[in-house]
Amino acid sequence: MLKILYAAIKYDYGDPERGFGFEHYNFYDSLKKMNNGANVIVYFPFDEIALKLGRDRMNQLLLETALREKPDLCFFCLFGEELKKEIIKEITKKSGAITLNWFTDDHWRFDNFSKYWAFCFNWIATTDSNAPEKYLKTGYKNAIKTQWACNHFLYKPFSSEKKYDASFVGQPHGNRKKIINRIRKSGININCRGRGWENGRISQEEMIKIFSQSKINLNLTKGSGVSFIKSIARIFLKKNNKSIKIENPFLWVDNLKSLLGKNREQIKGRNFEIPGCGGFLITGKADNLQDYYISGKEIVIYKDEQDLIKKIKYYLEYSKEREIIAGAGLERTLRDHTYEKRFNNIFKIIGLI
């Protein structure tokens, strides 16, 4: 049994009106239920607490909680700069717990965020295949390469009945609307859900149903929806609460590297969630995705828009082949790609089990 102080945001992008966020549904829920519920979780949703008490009091309360509860592990998932570096360092130094942060976007946030925070923690986890070497170059040695996964306690096959030919769940960032329009013009009926689409957002439960009830689920990897002008502005400007200020010139080069890093396609949670619901997945290429699934046998990877449309039409016609691949994807996910397995592997590396 482990006692874990869990510190992350509760709500989607820290906004209560958007409902629970990714971290809550996947990290918190998995840590609470894994290993037959053996872990004791001290829940510290710092976004919710900061809204009630303010940033300073929230940080002080976090320190007090860590020192009082004496956990084996303090598991962090930083969002922005809600937490104070000096508070995390004090927890790392005085609590007796191992501190670990899961960095979520090192493909593009390493240079202007992660590398400045890593030294606050005993260990960090990253999903970027290039990041461990980058951390080493900064002098930080305790970086663990991990990956997104499926919370199999939540994401499960719902129904064998197929209501949709094809579905996409996500926001219409970047070139996604253009791709969807071309798919529709080719004669394919596609169901799009999420903030910004004509049918709007859906609940977590509804999303899981759609993954199971769709003949084909799409994961469109091009996700950046920031215009060129806004991207350039972010090199030199920063948002502080509701005001815009000139960024520290020392960080301009790092911000440029961060902007360029967005060109690298990274694996997303969807790559594991859809197969984990027994859904058939067609996805774009992403950093070391084929280390996790075999394309054509467990998922299907498309090369470009033309190839995507060709593959959708093919697998709509050949349902038997589609079902075999979906079944193999589910089996692989449950065998290798659950958060329970990811977390237990991390806990072994850091000496907790």
pLDDT grade for 96, boundaries at 50, 70 and 90: very high
Residue 225: pLDDT band by 50, 70, 90 thresholds? Answer: very low
- 145 burial (CB, 10 Å; 0-12 / 13-18 / 19+) is middle
Q: Is a pLDDT exceeding 70 seen at residue 124?
A: yes
**Displacement of CA 110 from its chain's centroid (Å):** 15
C-beta separation of 2 from 352 below 8 A: yes
At residue 190, what is the residue type? I
Show contacts of 184-193: CB within 8 Å, 24+ apart: 186/309, 186/313, 188/309, 188/312, 188/313, 188/316, 189/164, 189/165, 190/164, 190/165, 190/166, 190/218, 191/164, 191/165, 191/166, 191/167, 192/167, 192/168, 193/167, 193/168, 193/169
CB atoms within 10 A of CB 48: 16
CATH number of 3-147+338-349: 3.40.50.2000
Q: Where are the domains of the chain?
A: 3-147+338-349, 164-224+263-336, 228-261
* pLDDT of 120 over the 90 cut: yes
The type of residue at 29 is: D
**Which residues sit opposite 284 in a β-bridge?**
302
pTM metric for this prediction: 0.90
In this prediction, residue 265 carries a pLDDT of: 81
Asked if the domains at 3-147+338-349 and 164-224+263-336 fall in one CATH topology, the answer is yes
Report, at the CATH architecture level, how domain 164-224+263-336 is classified. Answer: 3-Layer(aba) Sandwich (3.40)
**Using an 8 Å Cβ cutoff, are 162 and 150 in contact?**
no
Which band of pLDDT confidence, cut at 50, 70 and 90, is reported for residue 344? very high
